[in-house]
Amino acid sequence: MKNPNAVISSDYGPIIINVNDSVIGKHISQNGYWATQDINLIKTLLEAQIARHGTVRMYDVGANIGTHSLALGKSLGDKISIRAFEAQRQVFNMLCGTIALNGLSNVFCHNNAVGAVDDEALEIALLDYNTPNNFGALELVPPKHSDQQHVSRSTKEIVRTLRLDSFNEKVDFIKIDVEGMEDKVLMGAEKAIRTHRPILFIEIHKTDAQFVVDYFRGFGDYIGFLRGIDLILIPFEYQLQVLNAERVI
């Protein structure tokens, strides 16, 4: 069996990619990293929280191969603790390998699909990791807007779900990129959001964006900025603005 994975150098240290990954892996190998602008914005927001709280805990929901967890875990060091969640088992293994290669003891990896209920068995049709694919775009459930109609599939596996509320711990920042399951993640995190008031960075191009906007309007004390396909939600008390973004809440 041919191994599609490779360890390559990146702007933040060694990272494991699938050489057949037509988007994230390819971009890192050609340009040094992925989503640098997003990561820099998240880092700026986290630094504002660190100035306020001393240390922060972040949830990286839909961590994929670990680009955000690697960059932020390494950049912010002992000021940050990260839980990284990835549902695809083979991608999760790559995530764990990258975290280990970089010695990031502040990153904790979880092979789960984050959703609205705990311990549900979710069957997912895996992509074929041995042929060119956008592995970060796998949809675990049919989203509102899909781009996966013509991808190559291989086998099916079961992954267990969990709610972010099940951790019952303080969380300061939640990044969500789960290809259409964003609404379910929020439903399973309502207690954490109400209690701990994290900043959230949510990709919304496949999900019900209006649901997400209305969800945070319901809190009454979050402000929201739309930046491309991402929605950034900030508790009012931080008094922060996002440049080059449209205020929608």
How far apart CA 189 and CA 200 sit, in angstroms, is 11
CATH code (residue 126): 3.40.50.150
What does the block give as tokens for 57? 């805990």
How far apart CA 17 and CA 100 sit, in angstroms, is 14
Q: How far is CA 115 from the centre of its chain?
A: 13
Residue 135 confidence (pLDDT): 64
Residue pair 175/83 in contact by the 8 Å Cβ criterion = no
CA pseudo-torsion sign 109, 115, 117, 122: negative
Residue 140 confidence (pLDDT): 54
Residue 146 confidence (pLDDT): 43
Q: Where are the alpha helices (DSSP H) in the chain?
A: 24-31, 36-53, 67-76, 89-101, 182-187, 190-196, 209-217
Q: What is the pTM of this model?
A: 0.93
Total count of domains within the chain? 1
- Residue 133: which of 146, 118, 120, 150 has the closest Cα? 150
Residue pair 180/207 in contact by the 8 Å Cβ criterion = yes
Give mean pLDDT in consecutive 10-residue pieces for the chain, a chain of 249 residues: 94 98 95 97 98 98 98 99 97 98 99 97 88 67 47 78 98 93 95 98 88 93 96 97 96
Write out the residue range of the structural domain in which residue 229 sits: 5-247
Residue 123 confidence (pLDDT): 92
